[in-house]
Structure 1
Amino acid sequence: MEMVFRAIAIYLILLIVFKIAGRRTLLQMTSFDLILLLIISEATQQALLRTDYSVTGAMLTIVTLIVVDILFGFMKKRFSRAEQLLDGAPVVLIENGTPIDNKIKKVNVSTDDIMLVARQNHGIYQIEKIKFAILERNGQISIIPADG
């Protein structure tokens, strides 16, 4: 039973840490981020299994993590407030060609990040030609080009 509680605690801690780190973490992963993710996974594994390296212990931990994730998914579908709390809401970063600086700083995205997506996906080279740039819940930036 201790292993189940450990798994739930680690899941919640990782959820909070990645919520604080922000959606930008999902948007752009550098080689350092990959190394950090590997270190986190190793530390998490040690905290989850402690001295129990049995197959049964690993299976119990995996099942617990998946069940917690399914429960959170159910909560997000059933309660809109839970979805907002766990996943956040889309954030408008540019409106009618004008960057909204306080929101850009809050989500830790630069105008360079936005322009990269605008160039790659829409061939837009000027910020004024963006009607809306929206940071979606999944960490992606959506660009809606201005008319004309």
Structure 2
Amino acid sequence: MDLSFIVKSFILFFTGVFLLRIAGRKSISQMTLAQTIVIVSLGHMIVEPIVEVSMVKAIGGAVIFVVSIIVVEYIQLHFNRFEKLIMGKSKMVIENGELNIKNLKKLRLTVDGLEMRMRNMGLTKIADIKMATIEPNGQLGYELKEEAKPLTIGEFKKLMNISSQQNESQDAGQNIFDEIYSDTPQKHPEYLN
């Protein structure tokens, strides 16, 4: 086995890791179309020199791809239209507990596919969803109807404060020690005296 082959492999591996760190790290499900193309292309370019193509050309091409993805992301940050062109827009798939069949067809997404995404998010009923979208990265975004939202800790504390205030106001007239501290005796029903 040729020593230069091993050295080339290590150089290409670490160059790939370095370039991917520069390009940014996201899981495959969160990648945009442009990022996915760059990642696939980088993988191909990094393997090519091992099959006897110029290592310098491969690294140069990989650098150009990473720089291009950084430029595209920079332009996306500053120009909303360009972002929509590259990334696409969210599509509404559920509105007020009803499926938007028209958008499901545009997305080529079956009801079973939508239900699978809902189950992955812990959602069990379409009727509980106020609105749901398929985001450009393929993830499901949603908002529950008011009656289906879980109780938060903040809301629970507010309810407990209201409840304790009501109990205090009800108990204020029923303090059993009032008779001791008061000069006037309290009236009790005749049968208890």
TM-score by length of 2: 0.49
Higher Cα radius of gyration: 2
Matched, 1:53 2:53: yes
What letter corresponds to residue 57 of structure 2 in structure 1?
Answer: G
RMSD of equivalent CA atoms: 3.1
**1:135–1:141 contact (8 Å) kept in structure 2:** yes
Q: Paired residue for 1:65?
A: 65
Write the distance in 2 (CA, Å) between the matches of 1:130 and 1:107.
Answer: 19
Aligned-pair identity in percent equals 25
Q: Paired residue for 2:140?
A: 141
> What are the ranges of 5 or more consecutive residues in structure 2 without an aligned counterpart?
1-27, 31-36, 148-193
Write the distance in 2 (CA, Å) between the matches of 1:114 and 1:133.
Answer: 10
What letter corresponds to residue 128 of structure 2 in structure 1?
Answer: K
Question: 1:119: Cα distance to partner?
Answer: 2.4
Write the distance in 1 (CA, Å) between the matches of 2:109 and 2:115.
Answer: 11
1:101-147: CA deviation from partner (whole Å, max 9, x where unpaired):
1111111222222222322323x322212211111122101122222
Q: Secondary structure at the match of 1:109?
A: coil
**1:92–1:103 contact (8 Å) kept in structure 2:** yes
1:7-60: CA deviation from partner (whole Å, max 9, x where unpaired):
xxxxxxxxxxxxxxxxxx958xxxxxxxxx9xx769x64xx98x9712101101
Q: Paired residue for 1:80?
A: 80
Q: Paired residue for 1:16?
A: none
Which segment is superposed worse, 125-134 or 64-73? Answer: 125-134
What letter corresponds to residue 139 of structure 2 in structure 1?
Answer: Q
Q: Paired residue for 2:108?
A: 108
TM-score by length of 1: 0.62
Tell which has more relative contact order, 1 or 2 (C-alpha 8 A, sep 6+).
Answer: 1
